A = this chain, B = another copy of it.
């Protein structure tokens, strides 16, 4: 085990919620080390949480436990789960938050039904503190997944907008906009290699049309838009030294098309 627990939540940093989860985990296992992935997931935005989780989690040392609490359905029928994907462990609500990782890798999942690993008398509204955090600490301590509860065949999967590729080109979507206003799409470099190959093409993003993919946003003049393969290995659109979201007027969820010129 790595004794590392990461945290990904929509709790923000103003309230006591994040630190209380850490306190509860330290009670279970005093030597844990914490890495905050993000607590600024927009409130209850499962898609944003899934994206951040996919990009951060798989880089951690083997045995790292990832505690994930973006949980609009707390206190309802949604299940709590622990999931093993390759050499990483995850704990959180089964509400689609694991969709993007679960699409890409094989997984092994268990329902958190064994209350022995919970806090006593869990509240109805803060399962992060009362169920997920103590279970994460026990996992980091070496408790095995199968002790936590019964196996789950299939995790809830969000039907994310997946990019579509045909002989005319590729239709994808802005899946994330980062702090700089860069538009991150779900069109992978592999799709572009296979579909577009050496053809001439146009990229449509809002009212802006681009006709090439450059190495990086710095490859164009200041204030100009650039399409390039970003650090998540998908197509991104940015303005060199500017904010593409504001300057192109393109929002999360917007369609991005690559049309092959014949």
Contacts and interface: CB of A to CB of B under 8 A. Distances in A.
Interface residue tally on A, bucketed by range: 35 or more
A241 B44 contact: yes
A166 interface: no
A145 to B, nearest CB: 22
27 contacts: A2-B26, A2-B30, A12-B179, A13-B38, A14-B38, A14-B41, A14-B52, A15-B38, A15-B176, A15-B178, A16-B55, A23-B35, A23-B56, A23-B59, A24-B59, A26-B35, A27-B61, A30-B61, A34-B35, A73-B218, A75-B215, A123-B230, A125-B230, A125-B231, A126-B230, A129-B231, A130-B231
B27 A39 contact: no
Contacts of A37: 16, 19
B76 A15 contact: no
Interface in A214-232: 215-219, 228-231
